[in-house]
Amino acid sequence: MLTSNICKMVLEAPRLAKAALPGQFLIVRADEKGERIPLTISDYDAAAGTVTIVTQKIGASTTVIVDANEGDSFIDVVGPLGNASEFVTMSPEELAAQKVVFIAGGVGTAPVYPQAKWLHEKGVAVDVIIGARNKDLFIYTDEMRSVCDNLYLCTDDGSFGFHGVGTAQLEALVAQGKQYTRVVAIGPMIMMKFATLTAKKLGLPIIVSLNTLMVDGTGMCGACRVSVGGQTKFACVDGPEFDGYLVDFDEAMRRQGQYKEEESKWLQK
């Protein structure tokens, strides 16, 4: 357990581990009656044949996943799904010119890790800002420190590090003269919306990773549709990462809540 309700798990999935790239996700189903839950991959080790996921108890099926014990197995794990992050396909020259700053929020901190790690290993300048409500809710700080140039921690209540949200920290860094070529924000939809507004203000391009509702994750159901630049895209096969400037976050947040009523009924059972 990383916090009281966030859990890190290492899953054995050799084929998946061999194929995974930063930015991709997988789908796990805990047991016969569980939902298919999409989770962004937090680390992968092709040699060991393992992938790491970090899950927060949100609804019925995530509770089942978080409550699993070491040595348990999930009935299904499938992936990797979605496209890898854009920088994976960049040429060495393009990469060398990058100065990337990540803004990570909550459970979204974990999927930042493989991206920072990939860039750091290639010698690309990487800063990471992790935001949390208070100091007890940070995850992945030690791991992250080892794969970036500078790690900035901030808390909403000021109990640790910078007092304020991640986007305020970014503004402060830029005001201090820090230069970045792009922002990558991963976290709750509302955080990515505000990160996009900040990036726009600073004139920086921003990539966001959308954690929409999904069933199959392969383009079949269309539950994950999002409006990107006025066009309907499927987060599972066209994403999960998109240009933040183009995403209709208000629609995306509304669509995320489509089954809230059913979830709360289950949780009350």
Residues at the contact surface with another protein, assessed by CB under 8 A: 15-16, 19, 29, 33-36, 60-61, 64, 75-81, 215-216, 218-223, 225-227, 232, 237, 251, 254-255, 257-259, 262-263, 266
Question: At closest approach, how far in Å is the CB of 80 from another protein?
Answer: 6
Nearer to another protein, 80 or 131 (CB): 80
Instruction: Count CB neighbours of 269 within 10 A.
Output: 5
Nearer to another protein, 96 or 267 (CB): 267
Give the CA radius of gyration of the chain. 18
Decide if 74 contacts 30 (C-beta within 8 A).
Answer: yes
Instruction: Count CB neighbours of 48 within 10 A.
Output: 11
Nearer to another protein, 25 or 138 (CB): 25
Residues 172-177: contacts with CB under 8 Å, at least 24 apart: 173/101, 173/127, 173/129, 174/202
Nearer to another protein, 172 or 223 (CB): 223
Nearer to another protein, 133 or 255 (CB): 255
**CA–CA separation, 33 and 233 (whole Å):** 29
- Omega prior to 80 cis, within 30 of 0: yes
Cα dihedral 229/247/244/202 (nearest 10):
80
Q: What are the b/e assignments for 22-39, b being 16+ CB within 10 Å?
A: bbbbbbbbbeeebbbbbb
Question: At closest approach, how far in Å is the CB of 224 from another protein?
Answer: 10
Nearer to another protein, 172 or 237 (CB): 237
Question: At closest approach, how far in Å is the CB of 33 from another protein?
Answer: 5
Ordered DSSP codes for 73-95: --SEEEEEESPPPGGGG--HHHH
**CA–CA separation, 23 and 44 (whole Å):** 11
Nearer to another protein, 61 or 169 (CB): 61
Decide if 196 contacts 190 (C-beta within 8 A).
Answer: no
Question: At closest approach, how far in Å is the CB of 81 from another protein?
Answer: 6
Phi then psi for residue 167, to 5 deg, are -70, -35
